[in-house]
Structure 1
Amino acid sequence: MKIAVMGTGGVGGYFGARLQQAGHGVAFIARGRHLQALQRNGLSLKSPLGDAQLKVKAVEKPADAGAVDVVVFAVKLWDTESAAEQLRPLVGSNTFVIPFQNGVESIERLGAVLGRERVMGGAAYIAGRIAEPGVIVHTGQMARLRFGPVLAAQSKAAGSFLTACREAKIDAELVDDIVRVLWEKFVLLVALSATTAVTRKPIGAVRSDPDMRWLLEATMRETWEVGRKRGVALPEDFVARTLAFVDGLPHEMKPSMLGDLEAGGRLEAPWLSGAVARMARELGMEAAANRAVHAALKPYLNGSEVKAS
């Protein structure tokens, strides 16, 4: 299978490397010093599941990737529309784009640019980052992809990508209701990102303090309520089960948004807690906890020269 990775960070870099190791043709789209390092030295992957040093095809312009079957779309949420525009020359009548981003609006945002029929849905579960240009570091044992079609005509391509992932020994699942899967991840991610970013503490500190735990549950429950109001089939006991899952996470676990905040980088909050507050407002609901979190993070949304501490 021919695959392009749009956004060669922790998600795209890791899964793209595994697919290339299995013999699939992969083009990595990157920019800046990261691109230069990939072109000069290749991609270095450090992972508990196995290290790799790969000579890769790395390009800046998507058109230079050549014809591909699937685009693994893994850019930060603020770059979604601009990255989608760059993909236009690459996405032909037989090309499908699978966004593996945070949030629950990527299918619609990409579809508006590239055409709804070209975009599936996907969710990645991995802790990975660019440690330095050309180097991807994966921490922990989790490295999972869940994806699925949103239109019947996409089913064959989804099945082919599943086969490619399994050949690469990636823990991958083809799901029937990708919208529900995205919202399940969203309920968890919004709460983790909101509480750790606003407190500047890892999840272990958040869940063990009664007041911070209250905020964790409140942001989670609001997100669940908005999803249910929008017709997503989230189970009645989903908040309780998700809290139990959080209790089993490593004490020092930090979502990527807290890492971005600490580094003085841009934040995805407008598409996480900010999106929950916006969607709630559109439904005539109130999501006070998420709105408060988004307000508290607003001074940092576009990055800060002074790192948060």
Structure 2
Amino acid sequence: MRILVVGAGATGGYFGALPARAGLDVTFLVRPRRAAALRERGLRITGLGTNITIAPKLVTADELAGPYDLVLFSVKSTALRQAIDDVAPAIGPETAIVPFLNGLAHIDALNARFGTRPVLGGVAMIVTALNDEGDIVRLAPMANLTLGEQDGGPSARVDAIHALLDGAGVEVHTSKDIVAEMWHKWAFITTVGALTCLMRGTVGDVTAVPGGAALGPAILAETAAVSAAAGYPVPAEKIAFTEELVTRSGSPFASSMYRDVVDGRPTEVEHLFGDLLDRARALSVETPLLDLATLHLRVHQHRTQAAK
């Protein structure tokens, strides 16, 4: 099976490196600058006792020829439109596309370009970052994928992809309601993103001050309300997990979006927050805290764009 990983960043690089190291036919579609860095240093994963280096098979958009059997789609939402154009030559009649972006707008975009049949749903649970050398650093032990058909139900191709990745050392799960899983991850990621970006601090920073411990659960109530109104209520155990995470005293946890804000980088505000607010308005769900966090992030986005 020919596998194409679109993007070799903190998420795509990690989940592509494992099957490549296991000997599967894996190619990374990357930009020329990233290709040059990977050819020089290799694709490296460090942190938490991990020490992986591979010499990845690379291709740039002008070199891409297909079709591929499996496309793992992992790019920042800000690069989504260009990545869809770039990957088009790799998509054939039997190609399966598994995206691992957060939110749902990318599913709409992929469906519009390639049709609903090739596109699966996917959720990545991983905490990684790129360091100054472009290496992938694991920041927490969790690293797993969940995938499934958009319309649910059993699927021979999902089972085949599961077996392939599982055999290559990837922790992978399947879901008969992947859209619900994506909504639940969306509620989680926007909760922790809104909390840490709005307060400009880690969970521990927020909970250390009077009233801070109440903010995370209040934001979670809004994100969960939007998910429930869309038809995907967040299970009680996931609510409890997120509430404990955002109220944990002394916790160093912060969202990747927070790290982008602190470092002065652009964020995925429209893909994650703007789209969620549009759906909340359409569903008549009030979200005052998410509105404030989105405004804060939009101001940051304006400043970063003006500085270019």
Q: Which residue of 1 aligns with 2:129?
A: 129
Q: Which residue of 2 aligns with 1:112?
A: 112
Question: 1:272 is paired with a residue of what secondary structure?
Answer: helix
Residue identity in the other structure for 1:123: V
Contact 1:81–1:113 under 8 Å retained in 2: no
Q: Which residue of 2 aligns with 1:175?
A: 175
How many residues align? The count is 307
C-alpha deviation, 1:105, in angstroms: 2.9
Q: Which residue of 2 aligns with 1:77?
A: 77
Distance of aligned partners of 1:286 and 1:181 in 2 relative to their CA distance in 1, 3 Å threshold: same
Tell me whether 1:256 sits opposite 2:256 in the alignment: yes
Q: What whole-Å deviation, never above 9, does each CA across 1:241-263 have from its counterpart, x for those lacking one?
A: 42024456982122110111122
Instruction: Map 1:218-233; keep pairs closer than 5 Å.
Output: 218-233=218-233
C-alpha deviation, 1:270, in angstroms: 1.8
C-alpha deviation, 1:153, in angstroms: 9.4
What is the alpha-carbon distance in structure 2 between the residues aligned to residue 76 and residue 135 of structure 1? Answer: 17
C-alpha deviation, 1:183, in angstroms: 1.5
Contact 1:63–1:89 under 8 Å retained in 2: no
Specify every segment of 5 or more residues in structure 2 that has no aligned partner in the other structure, as ranges.
Answer: none
Question: 1:286 is paired with a residue of what secondary structure?
Answer: coil
Q: Which residue of 1 aligns with 2:9?
A: 9
C-alpha deviation, 1:141, in angstroms: 1.0
C-alpha deviation, 1:14, in angstroms: 0.5
Distance of aligned partners of 1:207 and 1:73 in 2 relative to their CA distance in 1, 3 Å threshold: farther
Instruction: Map 1:124-273; keep pairs closer than 5 Å.
Output: 124-151=124-151, 155-235=155-235, 238-247=238-247, 251-273=251-273
Question: 1:72 is paired with a residue of what secondary structure?
Answer: strand
Residue identity in the other structure for 1:262: V
Residue identity in the other structure for 1:12: G
C-alpha deviation, 1:156, in angstroms: 2.0
Q: Which residue of 1 aligns with 2:293?
A: 293
Question: 2:150 is paired with a residue of what secondary structure?
Answer: coil
Question: 2:131 is paired with a residue of what secondary structure?
Answer: strand
What is the alpha-carbon distance in structure 2 between the residues aligned to residue 93 and residue 306 of structure 1? Answer: 43
Larger displacement relative to structure 2 (150-159 or 114-123): 150-159
Question: 2:68 is paired with a residue of what secondary structure?
Answer: coil
Contact 1:195–1:212 under 8 Å retained in 2: no
Q: Which residue of 2 aligns with 1:304?
A: 304
What is the alpha-carbon distance in structure 1 between the residues aligned to residue 295 and residue 229 of structure 2? Answer: 23
What is the alpha-carbon distance in structure 2 between the residues aligned to residue 303 and residue 147 of structure 1? Answer: 36
What is the alpha-carbon distance in structure 1 between the residues aligned to residue 237 and residue 253 of structure 2? Answer: 24
Distance of aligned partners of 1:65 and 1:203 in 2 relative to their CA distance in 1, 3 Å threshold: farther
C-alpha deviation, 1:293, in angstroms: 0.8
What is the alpha-carbon distance in structure 2 between the residues aligned to residue 110 and residue 209 of structure 1? Answer: 43
Larger displacement relative to structure 2 (231-240 or 252-261): 231-240
CA RMSD of aligned residues (A): 2.4
Distance of aligned partners of 1:235 and 1:143 in 2 relative to their CA distance in 1, 3 Å threshold: closer
Specify every segment of 5 or more residues in structure 1 that has no aligned partner in the other structure, as ranges.
Answer: none
TM-score, normalised to structure 2's length? 0.91
Q: What whole-Å deviation, never above 9, does each CA across 1:44-102 have from its counterpart, x for those lacking one?
A: 22143531111111122175264321111111112222211221111111111111111
Residue identity in the other structure for 2:104: V
What is the alpha-carbon distance in structure 2 between the residues aligned to residue 35 and residue 65 of structure 1? Answer: 17
What is the alpha-carbon distance in structure 2 between the residues aligned to residue 252 and residue 278 of structure 1? Answer: 31
Question: 1:18 is paired with a residue of what secondary structure?
Answer: helix
Q: Which residue of 1 aligns with 2:95?
A: 95
C-alpha deviation, 1:290, in angstroms: 0.4
Distance of aligned partners of 1:270 and 1:305 in 2 relative to their CA distance in 1, 3 Å threshold: closer
What is the alpha-carbon distance in structure 2 between the residues aligned to residue 47 and residue 236 of structure 1? Answer: 32
Q: Which residue of 2 aligns with 1:54?
A: 54
Residue identity in the other structure for 1:117: R
Residue identity in the other structure for 1:186: W
TM-score, normalised to structure 1's length? 0.90
Q: What whole-Å deviation, never above 9, does each CA across 1:5-52 have from its counterpart, x for those lacking one?
A: 111111000010001111111111111432211123321221435311
Contact 1:97–1:120 under 8 Å retained in 2: yes
